[in-house]
Chains A and B, each alone.
Chain A
Amino acid sequence: GQQVMQIPQYQHVQEGEDFTTYCNSSTTLSNIQWYKQRPGGHPVFLIQLVKSGEVKKQKRLTFQFGEAKKNSSLHITATQTTDVGTYFCALCSGGGADGLTFGKGTHLIIQP
């Protein structure tokens, strides 16, 4: 099935710095979802992207879907301690309510 490569695996930033995580696929994706998992917690849905070149914003978070629909990114502006956690991209190879294939995640560590 489809797989997605997520980088970096870990990212250390100073509080207030920006953060970006990337997901790349060798095949065209029909959609991509992003989830956040706090330490000791469970994945929580953030957003879904379906259109080529789509850009969506949620406060300090900006999500992009590449023009070729083979890559996606999540950018956080001016990180805060509440942003700590692991950010996953996930894709659904089928349609409807199929299971998700998750990237390995990017662990965001914020140093005050």
Chain B
Amino acid sequence: DAGVIQSPRHEVTEMGQEVTLRCKPISGHNSLFWYRQTMMRGLELLIYFNNNVPIDDSGMPEDRFSAKMPNASFSTLKIQPSEPRDSAVYFCASSLLAYSNRVAEQYFGPGTRLTVT
């Protein structure tokens, strides 16, 4: 089975441009997460969805960041306008919640390395 798919794998853009990152979760998974990884701040949760509904976006750094999940097989993370400090690796992860009292393991995609110049 295919794992979590992210595109693009690398993105280089100029400050002020709009950036859209894409994610396809594992088929059948009902939760999707967006994380950002930098050397300084480590792995940070940005937002997550359960059954396509955004549950917690408190990790989204600013209004410049937005995420959508229009259906169970696709999600986007958009940055508009982008800034150099947004440079990071952005990971999408998905999981299947089978039991209400058990935390599900998360499956990460390969990530998108974003560089904003």
- Chain A residues with CB under 8 Å of chain B are 30-31, 33, 41-45, 48, 50, 88, 92, 95-105
Contacts and interface: CB of A to CB of B under 8 A. Distances in A.
A contact face: mostly helix, strand, loop, or mixed: loop
A51 to B, nearest CB: 12
B22 to A, nearest CB: 16
Given A42-B91, A42-B111, A99 B103 contact: no
Contact of B104 (A44, A97, A105): A97
B95 to A, nearest CB: 5
Interface in B55-76: 55-56, 59
Contact of A100 (B47, B50, B106): B106
Contacts of B110: 41-42
A31 B102 CA distance: 9
B107 A45 contact: yes
